[in-house]
């Protein structure tokens, strides 16, 4: 790692491929990758499995009481990827299901949940040299991050990517219309919630990857990283 590692915040709409790019960049530059959305997903899974979410209702009082019993960790899996663990169990695949995707925005809109997650995310990034992706990383979690990217793409393109991903994983019952509805509904809830809504930080650079190949995107990212690292070294 260079002498002055920087902090990299990648925010943006759902299913824009933020985590793919964040993971790739982290591996390229030898930084740690942290998926903040996985933490909100793990809390949601806990709520679904512990009767905190019942039908359309969320028992916020019960969640507040149980929040410090929810332990989330990132553990390297046998496949070399980082897996999300919830209370001692690998839940990496379960947290990506539609069951969780359908309710996660409601859980992520709760102020007390956000405060607890943000505190953990800030602790994980204390030493810099991290790439974190999410919705509020450049605005709330690391407002001083040296590199901030805000990713966007057409909703249809995003839904198609997510749909293909779910089908590739063997989910044959998933329907494109449902995925598209989920993507646009999550955008709506994430951008209009009162607590840390999704918005572009003033000093973030916008990346619209609707019509970009992975190679073009990766080149764009590494170029920006080099610029930001040079700036950080120059001002250190």
Which spans of this chain sit near ligand DC (rule: CB under 6 A)? 14, 36-37, 40-41, 104-105, 108, 134-137, 186, 190
State which residue, 95 or 229, has the beta carbon closest to ligand DC.
95
Nearest approach, Cβ of residue 198 and ligand DC (Å): 7
H or E segment and range at residue 207: strand 205-208
Query: Rounded to the nearest whole angstrom, what is the least distance from the CB of residue 40 to ligand DC in the complex?
Result: 4
Classify burial at 220, counting beta carbons within 10 Å of its beta carbon; exposed 0-12, middle 13-18, buried 19 or more.
middle
Residue nearer to ligand DC on the CB measure, 92 or 136? 136
Burial class (CB in 10 A: 0-12, 13-18, 19+), 138: buried
Minimum Å gap between C-beta 50 and ligand DC is: 19
Q: How far is the CB of 233 from ligand DC (least distance, A)?
A: 28
What count of residues does the chain have? Answer: 236
Strand ranges of the sheet holding 205-208, from the earlier edge strand across to the other edge: 32-35, 130-134, 7-12, 147-152, 205-208
Of the pair 166, 229, the CB lying nearest ligand DC is at: 166
Q: Hey, what are 44's tokens? A: 């949601």
Q: How far is the CB of 144 from ligand DC (least distance, A)?
A: 16
> Using the 8-state DSSP alphabet, how is residue 67 labeled?
G
Q: Which is nearer to ligand DC, 146 or 187 (CB)?
A: 187
Using the minimum distance from each CB to ligand DC, give the nearer residue, 15 or 232.
15
Cβ-based nearer residue to ligand DC, 36 or 209: 36
Question: With respect to ligand DC, which residue has the nearer C-beta, 189 or 212?
Answer: 189
Contacts by residues 44-48 (CB-CB < 8 Å, ≥ 24 positions apart): 44/95, 44/100, 44/103, 44/104, 44/107, 44/108, 45/86, 45/91, 45/94, 45/95, 45/100, 46/70, 46/86, 46/87, 47/103, 47/107, 48/99, 48/100, 48/103
CB 37 to ligand DC: min, Å: 3
Q: Taking the complex as a whole, how short is the minimal distance between the CB of residue 195 and ligand DC, in angstroms? A: 9
Within a 10 A sphere around the Cβ of 93, how many other Cβ atoms? 10
- The SS3 assignment for 53 reads strand
CA–CA dist 21, 30 (Å, integer): 14
């Amino acid at each position: 790692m260079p002498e002055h590692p920087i902090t990299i915040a990648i925010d943006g709409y759902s299913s824009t491929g933020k985590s793919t790019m964040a993971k790739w960049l982290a591996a390229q530059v030898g930084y740690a990758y942290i998926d903040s959305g996985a933490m909100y997903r793990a809390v949601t899974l806990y709520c679904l499995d512990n009767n905190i979410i019942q039908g359309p209702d969320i028992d916020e009082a019960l969640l507040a009481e149980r929040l410090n019993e929810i332990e989330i960790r990132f553990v390297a899996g046998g496949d070399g990827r980082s897996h999300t663990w919830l209370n001692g169990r690998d839940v990496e695949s379960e947290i990506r299901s539609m069951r969780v995707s359908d309710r996660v925005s409601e859980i992520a809109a709760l102020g007390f949940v956000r405060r607890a997650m943000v505190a953990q995310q800030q602790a994980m990034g204390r030493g810099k040299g991290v790439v974190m992706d999410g919705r509020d990383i450049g605005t709330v979690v690391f407002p001083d991050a040296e590199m901030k990217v805000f990713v966007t793409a057409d909703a249809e393109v995003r839904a198609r990517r997510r749909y293909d991903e779910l089908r590739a994983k063997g989910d044959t019952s998933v329907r494109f219309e449902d995925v598209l509805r989920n993507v646009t509904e999550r955008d709506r809830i994430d951008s209009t919630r009162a607590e840390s809504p999704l918005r572009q930080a003033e000093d973030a650079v916008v990346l619209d990857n609707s019509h970009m190949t992975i190679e073009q995107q990766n080149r764009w990212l590494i170029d920006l990283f080099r610029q930001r690292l040079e700036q950080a070294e120059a001002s250190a």
